[in-house]
Amino acid sequence: MNTNSNAATAWKWSLGAVYFVAAMNLVLGWVANNNGSGTVGSLQFNGSALIMAGILYLILGIFVHNRAKPALWVAVVLFALDSVAMVFMTMAAGHFSMLTLFLRFALIRAMYGGIDAIDEMASA
């Protein structure tokens, strides 16, 4: 199989992961703001902060779409830090979910896979 094809696939997965995180933040922020109480399900969220995070990931996604490696690094690091914070918050609130943790690891892995892919596509 062509290495450049694998790199393009990995880059597309990383791009999709960044856009997915942006979309989820925007949707959760919108729901939390329109709910009136700021809750989504049984969790309390700051809707405005989620919308701002969604816009940030959307901007990072645009840069990743243009194959900017630093933007992908920023997205990976921010999402990893957000994941660590979310684990502690959900454990403290008693809402910890292994499925959510697995999803977050999968998204981090997808984003991280695009970092080397950008280099491979640039050298091809």
- What's the pLDDT band for 1 if we cut at 50, 70, 90? very low
Kindly state the average pLDDT of the residues 28-33: 86
Nearest alpha-carbon partner for 67 in 20, 106, 123, 26: 123
Q: What are phi and psi of 68, to 5 degrees?
A: -90, 110
The residue ranges of every structural domain in the chain are 3-117
Computed over every residue of the chain, the mean pLDDT equals: 88
At 4, which helix (H) or strand (E)?
helix 3-35
- Is the pTM for the entire model greater than 0.85? yes
Question: Residue 112 contacts by C-beta under 8 Å, 6 or more apart in sequence?
Answer: 14, 76
Instruction: For residue 37, report the phi and psi dihedrals to the nearest 5 degrees.
Output: -95, -10
Is 111 strand, coil or helix? helix
Q: With a cut of 90, say whether residue 36 has pLDDT above it.
A: no
